[in-house]
Every structure is written in structure tokens, then in C-alpha cells.
């Protein structure tokens, strides 16, 4: 297993933030923030003015530079306050990265968090082209190796002056807030059925460690301080798991989540299928749930270990069409498909815009293996909540591995397509050695005794071609083999019945006691 990194922003960015809001001293005015990607603080009265601090963040994905913008303005008019002095302390993972005063003529402070090889963080003033024309504030590059990763950045901000640099506030305004920058790490896994896949983890808190995949679950760890103070600062703990839409085992409709081996409620899971290539499994643990876990003394170590696995009732498989108009829920019987068997596909087509109501719509369905269509059907789906659409097809003996169930042109639109992967297990075709077949023929013709035929049956049991309970194979009594069975053995020896029919027949006769081995 290997991992590599990239940084990204998700539409649910604002949802996945950990609150950073330390209670300030009552002797001084102040405010606290909620860790949003864009934060507008509560108004604070200073003299005859009411002022508001706003903090925002953006990311340049080509350079991985995060830009933090801090501005102070009048609450009602939103006019920027000139000659503001900001005292900024930046903290990540409990480490103070820098403390610095910034005098801003226009009340706007722009800091670029620049990844570099520098171990120590450096603050470097950078003039922008626009600043020469008075159009924008100049910027500060804050460079350091620590900015190679995302996570939670804590800001302690003090306003020291407003309106005039000589107007020093006797009681500085203090703000405590956090800006969470998502970081995505991709892990390469090799699934027994679906082969090589890339699982992504988006963290809004701190870097992931100890990623594990065991063919049934995804498990990973990140640090978390289990204390009353830390929980009070955390509105939610939010992580996202990115699942390729080629990974059928994790395209199911429900999951279980364990935190440090404790089963969480179903409400912590939210599934987003609106991305074309990946489904996003959101795990959002509320402050109340964190507090309950802590108060019950269920948590000891300062870490969170999350484990996500498909629920035991892991079907139907669910997906959205490319344009997100239709949701398709697919089931099949038997659950474990084996070559040589008939398969019944059952599915519902739901209209997302009508709150997942079943809809009657034309569809084209095909089943593809190695880019070859092995089954095709066109139809019109039912709009009944009580009836499923069903199609049946035969899987050939020689087919195994991945098949794709394709839904195309729903309602005649080229944008309403969806592919869902299913695994076909290898055929259970029975292949019995020729010497056993020869023995059966000779025994049927009376050329060898019952004991020789019994040896062949014992071989089939040993190789698990015939499966019977151990207690039913402990004794051997060749006189218990009826003569009429010789007729069946002769048919099989001469190819009149196949290996599976012969083996199933013998297994049944042993099970009911007609043959005792």
C-alpha cells in the first residue's frame, strides 16, 4: 500500500470545520470564531464605533498556496477601518508558528501561506502590482515547510490600533478563531474482487496516519485531544472518504462507523454521489456525541480511530446518473454470482429532483464483460414504490471477474448514464479425475469390487468435491451401497450425466444414509 498527497476544496467545505473558540478574559473586549473557511466575527463596540472582523481563506491548487485575508470594517456601513494594527499569532498542531504585528493602512491584511523547504517560518513582505496604484493591500508571504499540509490553523488576532496608528487601544480587541484547510491523501489498495483502487481521505483537522484496508473496512487514525476544553472548541469532527465509482463493495446504500471501536449512530454518515468519478462518504460527529463519548470514559488515548464498513445488509448498490437527475438502486439474486447460473437483476429508477420518487422512464440496460456486451435489454421503468424492475440473464460457465451493469439514455438523454460494477465468482464446475470415472464404469460393469468404488468416493470427499459432515464419513461399509447406484455410475462414466449431477447425487445419498462411507 502506498500514499500520495494533493490538496483540494470540497463543496461541503463549510460543513467540515472544527470550532476553535477559546473563551477570552472578561476584562477585555473580544470574540471567538467557529473555524469556517470564511468567518465573520460578532460585532464589537470600540468607542463610538461598532466593528467587525472578517477572515477568509482560498487555495491556489497549482501552487498549493493558501491565502488568508483578514479585514476590519465598520459593522453597518462595511467601510474598512484605516490604519489598523493587527497582532497575529498563528498556531498549528499546538505549535506557535509566528507572532507578528502588521500595520495596514487600508485595514486589510493578506497573508499567503507558502510551502517551502524552510523549517522555520519566515514572514516576507511582498508588493503586488495593484498596490502601486492603491487598488489593493500589499501582501505578506509566510513561508515554511509546515504549510505543505492542510489541517486546522488557529489564529489569535489582537486589534491594537484603529483609525490612526497613534490611537492605541487601551484594551485590545481579541479574536480567537480557526481556519480549516482540507487536505486529501490518496491510498492505493488492492481489493480481492475489484483490483487496484485509490481511496482518498479528506481531513479538516490533522494529518491521517495508520491507514488500513482489510477487504471489508477502511480504517484510519488522526490526533484529537480528548478533553473538555478541546470538545468545547469543536462543533463537529468531519472527515470525508473518497470512493472510486469502480469500487463496487463501497457503492452500497448504508455503512457502519466505529470511533475507537465504539459503534456510532447512523446519523454520522452522509453519502454524496454527485461527483462523476468518486462518491464521498461524509463522517460528521457532533459536539454532543464527542462529549458523550468522553463523559462515559470510553476514550483514553489522544487520537480518533475511525473505521467504516458496508452494513451487513449491504445491498442495494446505489449510484447517480452523470447529470445527477436519476438515482438507480440495484440489487441482484443470488447475492454471490457464480458462472453457470441465472442472475436476476432488480432495480429502481428514482427522480432526484422529485425527492427520490420512483419514475416511469425509458432505459437501455446492458451487461458488459471485458468490453463485450453479454446481455442487453431496453424497457420502461415502473413508477410504483412496491414493484421493482427485474431482468434475468445467464452467466456463462467460463465467465468470472468484473462485469459492468450499464444504464444508458434514461428518458432519451445522453447525459443520464450510469455504470455499476459487480463481481462474478469463478464457476463451481466439478472436474473429477479420469481414474474416478474409470472406476465408476468398471464398478458398474462388475469388474471391480465395491471397495474400489468407495475409494473413489473417499477421494471426492477428501478433495471437497463432495462435502458431507465428518460424522457421516467415519465408518466404511461397502455392503451399504445399493446395486441401483451402479446404473447411475455407469451413466456418468459414459457421459450421459455431467460431473456436477453425479457428485450432487452421491453427496445426497451419503447425507440421507443410503451410502455409508
Write out pLDDT tens, residues 293-310.
998 876 768 889 999 999
Is residue 165 scored above 70 in pLDDT?
Answer: yes
Give whichever of 40-49, 210-219, 266-275 has the largest mean pLDDT: 210-219
* Cβ neighbours for 425, distance < 8 A, ≥ 6 positions apart: 336, 337, 338, 339, 400
Interatomic CA distance for residues 451 and 333, integer angstroms: 42
The chain-wide mean pLDDT, for the chain, equals 81
The confidence score (pLDDT) of residue 313 equals: 60
In the chain, the percentage of residues whose pLDDT exceeds 70 is 82
Q: Residue for cell digits 487514525? A: 221
What is the DSSP pairing of strand 372-380 with strand 303-310? unpaired
Is residue 337 scored above 50 in pLDDT?
Answer: yes
What band does 133 get if pLDDT is binned at 50, 70 and 90? very low
* Cβ neighbours for 386, distance < 8 A, ≥ 6 positions apart: none
What band does 314 get if pLDDT is binned at 50, 70 and 90? low
The confidence score (pLDDT) of residue 354 equals: 92
Q: H or E segment at 169?
A: strand 168-181
The confidence score (pLDDT) of residue 425 equals: 77
Is residue 334 scored above 70 in pLDDT?
Answer: yes
Give residue limits of the domains in the chain: 2-181, 191-310, 319-425, 434-511
Cell of 70: 483578514
Q: Where are the alpha helices (DSSP H) in 132-183?
A: none
Quick count: other Cβ atoms within 10 Å of Cβ 503?
19
Interatomic CA distance for residues 392 and 404, integer angstroms: 15
First to last CA, the chain: 48
DSSP string, 469-510: -GGGSS---GGGS-THHHHHHHHHHTTSS-HHHHHHHHHHHH
Q: Residue for cell digits 442472475? A: 343
DSSP string, 421-485: EEEEEPP------HHHHHHHHHHHTTSS-HHHHHHHHHHHHHTTSS---GGGSS---GGGS-THH
Q: Residue for cell digits 494529518? A: 207
Cell of 386: 412496491
The correct answer on CATH 2.60.40 for the domain covering 191-310 is: yes
Interatomic CA distance for residues 466 and 310, integer angstroms: 33
DSSP 129: T
Counting Cα atoms < 13 Å in the Cβ hemisphere of 406 gives: 19
In the predicted model, what is the mean pLDDT of residues 226-247?
86
Sheet containing strand 236-244, strands side by side: 2-6, 183-191, 195-203, 236-244, 278-286, 269-272
The confidence score (pLDDT) of residue 137 equals: 57
DSSP 252: B
Q: Are 191-310 and 319-425 in the same CATH fold?
A: yes
User: Which of 10, 2, 95 is closest to 279 using CA atoms?
Assistant: 10
The confidence score (pLDDT) of residue 409 equals: 95
Domain 319-425: assigned CATH number: 2.60.40.1930
Angle at 295 (CA atoms; ends 291, 296), nearest 5 degrees: 120
What band does 377 get if pLDDT is binned at 50, 70 and 90? very high
Number of residues assigned to the chain? 517
> Rounded to whole angstroms, what are the CA distances from 379 to 98, 187, 230, 342, 382?
65, 40, 56, 20, 10
Interatomic CA distance for residues 364 and 379, integer angstroms: 7
Higher pLDDT, 194 or 157: 157
**Could you give the 3-state DSSP secondary structure of residue 322?**
coil
Interatomic CA distance for residues 172 and 158, integer angstroms: 6
210-234 burial: b if 16+ Cβ within 10 Å, else e: ebebeeeebebbbebebeeeebebb
In the predicted model, what is the mean pLDDT of residues 193-205?
88
Q: What is the pLDDT of residues 93-114, one digit of tens each?
A: 889 999 999 999 999 999 999 9
Of 171-180, 214-223, 430-439, which range is least confident? Answer: 430-439
What band does 124 get if pLDDT is binned at 50, 70 and 90? confident
The confidence score (pLDDT) of residue 144 equals: 92
Of 224-228, 300-304, 347-351, 478-482, which range is least confident? Answer: 478-482
What band does 514 get if pLDDT is binned at 50, 70 and 90? low
Strand partners, 80: 73
What band does 70 get if pLDDT is binned at 50, 70 and 90? very high
User: Which of 75, 97, 77 is closest to 88 using CA atoms?
Assistant: 97
Interatomic CA distance for residues 230 and 299, integer angstroms: 13
Interatomic CA distance for residues 207 and 230, integer angstroms: 17
Is residue 501 scored above 60 in pLDDT?
Answer: yes
DSSP 31: E
What band does 481 get if pLDDT is binned at 50, 70 and 90? low
For 381, phi then psi, to 5°, come to: -75, 160
Amino acid at each position: 500500500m502506498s500514499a500520495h498527497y494533493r490538496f483540494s476544496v470540497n463543496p461541503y467545505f463549510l460543513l467540515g470545520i472544527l470550532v476553535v473558540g477559546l473563551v477570552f478574559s472578561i476584562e477585555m473586549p473580544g470574540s471567538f470564531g467557529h473555524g469556517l473557511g470564511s468567518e465573520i466575527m460578532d460585532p464589537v463596540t470600540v468607542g463610538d464605533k461598532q466593528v467587525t472582523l472578517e477572515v477568509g481563506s482560498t487555495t491556489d491548487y497549482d501552487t498549493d498556496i493558501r491565502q488568508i485575508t483578514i479585514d476590519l470594517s465598520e459593522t453597518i456601513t462595511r467601510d474598512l477601518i484605516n490604519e489598523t494594527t493587527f497582532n497575529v499569532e498563528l498556531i498549528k498542531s499546538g505549535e506557535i508558528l509566528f507572532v507578528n504585528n502588521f500595520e495596514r493602512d487600508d485595514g486589510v491584511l493578506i497573508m499567503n501561506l507558502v510551502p517551502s523547504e524552510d523549517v522555520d517560518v519566515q514572514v516576507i513582505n511582498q508588493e503586488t502590482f495593484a498596490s502601486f496604484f492603491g487598488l489593493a493591500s500589499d501582501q505578506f508571504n509566510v513561508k515554511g515547510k509546515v504549510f505543505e499540509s492542510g489541517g486546522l490553523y488557529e489564529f489569535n488576532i489582537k486589534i491594537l490600533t484603529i483609525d490612526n496608528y497613534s490611537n492605541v487601544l487601551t484594551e485590545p480587541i481579541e479574536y480567537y478563531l480557526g481556519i480549516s484547510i482540507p487536505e486529501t491523501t490518496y491510498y492505493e489498495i488492492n481489493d480481492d474482487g475489484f483490483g487496484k483502487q485509490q481511496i482518498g481521505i479528506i481531513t479538516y483537522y490533522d494529518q491521517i496516519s495508520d491507514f488500513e484496508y482489510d477487504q471489508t473496512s477502511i480504517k484510519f487514525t488522526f490526533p484529537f485531544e480528548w478533553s473538555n476544553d478541546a470538545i468545547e472548541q469543536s462543533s463537529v469532527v468531519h472527515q470525508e472518504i473518497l470512493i472510486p465509482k469502480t469500487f463496487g463493495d463501497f457503492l452500497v446504500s448504508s455503512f457502519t462507523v466505529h470511533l475507537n471501536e465504539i459503534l456510532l449512530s447512523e446519523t454520522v454518515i452522509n453519502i454524496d454521489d454527485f461527483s462523476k468519478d468518486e462518491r464521498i462518504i461524509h463522517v460528521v460527529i457532533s459536539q454532543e456525541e464527542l462529549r458523550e463519548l468522553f463523559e462515559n470514559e470510553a476514550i483514553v488515548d489522544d487520537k480518533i480511530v475511525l473505521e467504516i464498513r458496508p452494513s451487513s445488509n449491504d445491498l442495494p448498490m446505489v449510484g447517480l446518473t452523470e447529470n445527477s437527475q436519476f438515482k438507480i438502486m440495484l440489487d441482484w439474486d443470488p447475492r454471490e454470482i457464480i458462472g453457470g447460473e441465472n442472475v436476476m437483476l432488480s432495480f429502481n429508477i428514482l427522480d432526484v429532483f422529485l425527492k427520490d420518487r420512483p419514475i416511469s422512464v425509458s432505459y437501455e440496460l446492458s451487461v458488459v464483460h471485458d468490453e463485450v456486451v453479454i446481455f442487453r435489454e431496453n424497457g420502461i421503468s415502473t413508477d410504483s414504490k412496491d414493484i421493482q424492475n427485474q431482468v434475468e440473464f445467464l452467466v456463462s460457465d467460463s465467465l468470472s471477474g468484473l462485469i459492468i451493469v450499464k444504464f444508458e439514455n434514461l428518458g432519451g438523454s445522453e447525459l443520464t448514464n450510469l455504470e455499476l460494477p459487480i463481481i462474478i465468482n469463478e464457476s463451481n464446475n466439478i472436474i473429477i479425475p479420469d481414474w474416478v470415472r474409470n472406476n465408476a464404469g468398471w464398478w458398474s460393469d462388475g469388474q471391480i469390487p465395491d471397495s474400489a468404488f468407495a475409494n473413489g468416493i473417499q477421494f471426492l470427499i477428501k478433495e471437497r468435491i463432495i462435502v458431507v459432515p465428518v460424522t457421516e464419513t467415519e465408518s466404511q461399509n461397502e455392503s451399504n451401497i445399493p446395486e441401483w447406484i451402479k446404473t447411475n455410475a455407469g451413466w456418468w462414466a459414459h457421459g450421459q450425466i455431467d460431473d456436477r449431477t453425479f457428485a450432487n447425487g452421491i453427496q445426497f445419498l451419503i447425507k440421507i444414509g443410503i451410502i455409508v462411507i
